Amino acid sequence: MIDGGSTDSTISILERYPHLKWVSEPDRGQADALNKGLRMATGDVVGWVNSDDFYAPGAFAHVRDVFRDESVGWAIGDVANFYNGSGIESYSHSATVTYHSLLQNPDILRQQAAFFRAGLLRTAGAWDASLQMVMDLDLWLRLARITAPRMMQEKMAYWRIHPEQKSGSKMNKLQSGEIDRVLRQHGVSPAHRHRQLGKKRWWRLKSTVKQCLVSMGILDVDFKNGECSP
């Protein structure tokens, strides 16, 4: 558990579980915290879940079985959207991830359901601490250049949808800029990068309109139904 120096009840909760390994201190962002976690990790297989998301029942048993195959360097399962206000969930299989499919459509990334061999993460260079929003896309592209992931056709995690989530519309502009930077580093054409930015701008416009309609009471807060990310 890597905590960035929370001032709420996080520490008191962690102290109830003496078997947990954790640190609470200021960091330079999520990627920096993830690198701290990797340095602390002693196991062969590594995954991470953010504080507002959670794993599906039986996920770890399935991961154990998949990684019994020594040829598997990393694996990706399916993620269900979980709408915090109502408890409703929506679910579909993750798209097949390759180096080229990530370049064509970065939005296929499903971080919550991804697991990695720690050695492969270290070989790839772990997370770029200069990125605040798309450190996972940057990492996945570097991993995919080394080896393709094993796709697990199982629900492995839940992405909790709520108004204050990091990947919500408030952070869309920063995310768009970082996606453009990463794609540019991998030699993606300006025309394709422009299309990706256009998709983000269109989603940001739709999200703004929906939020206005929700605030006016015209739409229910859980109307987004799978459109909380493009």
Percentage above 90 pLDDT, the chain: 47
Listed in sequence order, the residues at least 6 apart from 38 whose beta carbon sits closer than 8 Å to its beta carbon are: 46, 118, 121, 122, 126, 127
Domains of the chain, first to last: 1-40 (no CATH), 41-215 (3.90.550.10)
Average pLDDT over residues 20-48: 86
50-64, 71-85, 137-151, 198-212: the lowest-pLDDT one: 198-212
pLDDT score for 51: 78
| Statement: residue 86 has pLDDT above 80 | no
Average pLDDT over residues 6-27: 82
pLDDT digits (tens, 9 = 90+) for 46-57: 999 887 889 999
- Are 180 and 197 spatial neighbours (Cβ–Cβ below 8 Å)? yes
Among the residues of 89-162, which ranges form H helices? Answer: 99-104, 118-124, 135-146
pLDDT score for 224: 46
